[in-house]
């Protein structure tokens, strides 16, 4: 769920920085604070690019030219607007939020007149000041990628920053809160539709077609948003959640039992703070969950204006050690067998045949984030009423979990309830993802919806072990070629002269980010059929 950090996105952001200038109309604040209304009636235009200069800037660098091979040459120019709107937090608090409205421009038929809207949910950010609308910021790689992939191809893109970021004074981010985040996405969409007639590109209008997509955290948000829109009877033309943590209960169980994902020491503080605000019962004191090393201040550590690397250096978060490397001993009265089984399951993973074992092992250390008491209590709940993925089915636990954090994951698991998509849906990811496990999340959701009519659900693994095949074979082949090129690079002198094993570890560590542009391309291809 890390934000995109690939060199292609960075090159695009740099190109935009070199090519654009700010412009805007003037506007007074709105009197209404109802959620979904604009806080500022006329959006601020941050930048404007025509298609020719956009393509020229990209083609001027090697990495930009590589990105053009994925996105295709820009067909449209893009005007980048900043919108401010009202929404609510996890506990119903009113807060101002913000985001991007990217409007295609130009003479090509696909760039003006009635155009489809694309509602995009971004991946996890640790920077509290992050603003996906600010395309002049070279660090805004995800905004740049979405601009090139969708807005420059004729989609009106709406992408909120999320509550807790940018101008929001909420004080926390409702991370992976399905109700709050889907509601905010819908609020952003309503605000953008109000703002669109007040942009410079008034000839570009909303056609009524709506596509929903997002990556990583945004994959969960996109699926929750699709669910909320369809439940409300709103039109969803098609959806494309990408690499999201959809099966939250199963994912949490996997992590507690030793499959510690990359980024877990960032995600856990975000999620416990989010659910504490939403439900009020995740902990009485932070020491209920966290080791004494990190408990103080953990509820406000993220998001932050302090760079993540500095938070690690300052000892406010461990870089990778989520759990104690000394295995906690589980003692269940009158059940020695289960006690022994759970103790073994909580040990540091030792499977040499699993390429992710070094990643999982890095999640254990002597200076760890979550305490043993918390981990044992969670494990006992999971053992007493396991998620269906642990028992050969794809359903949730048979009863609502009793351990508060696991219960919160259950409530935000997108298997919870009877909803299944009614709009064509593509689920995209990579099977070796060490950050958001593909089998636990994407394949679990696909199996859960196994009875859907043929053609309604499409599942794409961009990195299939059997090699490229099917209608997305070209994208799969391009991704695997890119991974092979990274491997080769790390083994050269310029890349560090690493051994094959060390190079493979480097490739795995960046895998989640590497998948993103290829899944985005697949989603765009999928959407083009509707």
Q: pLDDT tens-digit profile of 80-97? A: 999 999 999 999 999 999
Which of 247, 225, 200 shows the shortest CA–CA distance to 102? 200
Residue 19 has pLDDT above 80, yes or no: no
Q: Are the CB atoms for 368 and 220 separated by under 8 Å?
A: no
pLDDT tens, 159-183?
A: 999 999 999 999 999 999 999 999 9
- The continuous run of DSSP H or E covering 457 comes out as strand 457-461
pLDDT tens, 293-339?
A: 999 999 999 999 999 999 999 999 999 999 999 999 999 998 999 99
Q: Which residues of 140-160 are buried (b: 16+ CB within 10 A; e: fewer)?
A: bbbbbbbbbbbbbbbbbbbbb
Distance separating alpha carbons of residues 526 and 520, to the nearest angstrom: 10
pLDDT tens, 41-52?
A: 999 999 999 999
- The per-residue pLDDT of the chain, averaged, comes to 93
Q: What is the pLDDT of residue 63?
A: 66
Q: Are the CB atoms for 411 and 432 separated by under 8 Å?
A: no
Q: What is the pLDDT of residue 274?
A: 98
Please report how the helices 7-19 and 51-59 are oriented relative to each other, as an axis angle in degrees rounded to 10.
Answer: 130
Which of 20, 40, 153, 44 shows the shortest CA–CA distance to 101? 44
pLDDT tens, 247-294?
A: 999 999 999 999 999 999 999 999 999 999 999 999 999 999 999 999
Q: Where are the domains of the chain?
A: 7-247+416-461, 249-412
> What is the longest distance spanned by two Cα atoms in the chain?
76
Q: Name the DSSP class of 450.
A: T
For 477, residues 6+ apart whose C-beta sits below 8 A from its C-beta are 468
Q: What is the pLDDT of residue 60?
A: 76
Q: Name the DSSP class of 77.
A: E
pLDDT tens, 190-204?
A: 999 999 999 997 789
Residue 234 has pLDDT above 90, yes or no: yes
Residue with tokens 């703070």: 273
CATH class of the domain comprising 7-247+416-461 = alpha beta
Distance separating alpha carbons of residues 99 and 216, to the nearest angstrom: 18
For 26, residues 6+ apart whose C-beta sits below 8 A from its C-beta are 42
Distance separating alpha carbons of residues 294 and 331, to the nearest angstrom: 26
Q: What is the pLDDT of residue 182?
A: 98
Q: How far apart are the two ends of the chain, measured CA to CA in Å?
A: 28
More confident residue, 139 or 492: 492
Distance separating alpha carbons of residues 360 and 409, to the nearest angstrom: 21
Percent of the chain with pLDDT over 70: 94
Per-residue tokens: 91: 């506990």
More confident residue, 5 or 223: 223
Residue 365 has pLDDT above 50, yes or no: yes
Residue with tokens 């642990």: 390
Cβ-based burial of 302 (10 A; exposed 0-12, middle 13-18, buried ≥19):
buried
Residue 375 has pLDDT above 50, yes or no: yes
Distance separating alpha carbons of residues 468 and 462, to the nearest angstrom: 8
Q: What is the pLDDT of residue 105?
A: 96
Q: What is the pLDDT of residue 520?
A: 98
Q: What is the pLDDT of residue 9?
A: 46
Residue 447 has pLDDT above 50, yes or no: yes
Q: What is the pLDDT of residue 225?
A: 98
Q: Distance of alpha carbon 27 from its chain centroid, rounded? A: 33
Mapped onto helix, strand or coil, the DSSP state of residue 338 is helix
pLDDT tens, 20-78?
A: 545 545 555 656 789 999 999 999 999 999 999 877 877 777 766 777 889 999 999 99
Tell me the pairing of strands 204-215 and 113-121: parallel
Q: Are the CB atoms for 153 and 76 separated by under 8 Å?
A: yes
Its pTM stands at: 0.95
């Amino acid at each position: 769920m890390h934000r995109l950090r690939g060199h292609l996105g960075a090159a695009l952001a740099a190109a935009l920085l070199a090519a654009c200038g700010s412009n805007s109309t003037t506007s007074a604040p709105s009197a209404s604070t109802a959620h979904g209304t604009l806080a500022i009636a006329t959006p601020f235009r941050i930048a404007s690019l025509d298609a020719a200069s956009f393509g020229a800037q990209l083609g001027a660098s090697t990495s930009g030219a590589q990105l053009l091979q994925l996105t295709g040459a820009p067909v449209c120019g893009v005007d980048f607007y900043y919108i401010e709107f009202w929404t609510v937090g996890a506990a119903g608090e009113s807060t101002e939020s913000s985001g991007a409205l990217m409007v295609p421009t130009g003479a090509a038929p696909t760039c003006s007149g009635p155009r489809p809207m694309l509602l995009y949910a971004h991946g996890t950010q640790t920077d509290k000041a992050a603003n996906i609308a600010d395309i002049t910021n070279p660090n805004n790689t995800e905004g740049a990628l979405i601009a090139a992939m969708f807005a420059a191809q004729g989609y009106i893109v709406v992408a909120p920053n999320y509550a807790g970021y940018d101008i929001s004074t909420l004080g926390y981010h409702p991370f992976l809160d399905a109700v709050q985040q889907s509601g905010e996405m819908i609020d952003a969409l309503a605000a953008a539709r109000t703002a669109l007639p007040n942009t410079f590109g008034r000839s570009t209008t909303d056609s009524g077609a709506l596509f929903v997509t997002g990556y990583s955290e945004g994959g969960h948000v996109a699926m929750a948003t699709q669910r909320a829109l369809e439940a409300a009877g709103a039109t969803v033309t098609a959806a494309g959640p990408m690499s999201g943590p959809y099966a939250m209960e199963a994912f949490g169980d996997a992590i507690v039992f030793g499959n510690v994902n990359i980024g877990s020491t960032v995600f856990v503080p975000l999620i416990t703070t989010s659910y504490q605000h939403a439900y009020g019962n995740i902990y009485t004191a932070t020491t209920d969950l966290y080791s004494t090393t990190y408990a103080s201040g953990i509820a406000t550590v993220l998001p932050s204006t302090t760079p993540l690397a500095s938070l690690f250096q300052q000892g406010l978060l461990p870089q990778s050690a989520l759990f104690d490397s000394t295995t906690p001993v589980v003692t269940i009265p009158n059940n020695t067998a289960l006690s022994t089984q759970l103790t073994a399951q909580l040990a540091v993973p030792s499977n040499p045949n699993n390429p992710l074992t070094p990643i999982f092992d890095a999640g254990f250390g002597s200076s760890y984030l979550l305490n043993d008491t918390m981990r044992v209590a969670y494990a006992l709940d999971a053992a007493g009423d396991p998620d269906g993925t642990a028992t050969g089915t794809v359903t949730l636990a048979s009863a609502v979990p009793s351990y508060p954090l696991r219960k919160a994951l259950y409530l935000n698991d997108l298997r919870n309830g009877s909803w299944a998509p009614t709009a064509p849906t593509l689920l995209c990811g990579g099977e070796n993802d060490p950050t958001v496990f593909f089998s636990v999340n994407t394949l679990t959701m696909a199996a859960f919806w196994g009875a859907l009519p043929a053609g309604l659900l499409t599942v794409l693994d961009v990195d299939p072990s059997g090699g490229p095949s099917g209608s997305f074979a070209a994208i799969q082949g391009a991704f695997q070629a890119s991974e092979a090129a990274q491997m080769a690079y790390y083994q050269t002198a310029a890349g560090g002269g690493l051994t094959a094993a060390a190079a493979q570890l480097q490739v795995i560590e960046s895998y989640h980010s590497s998948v993103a542009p290829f899944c985005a391309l697949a989603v765009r291809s999928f959407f083009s059929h509707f």
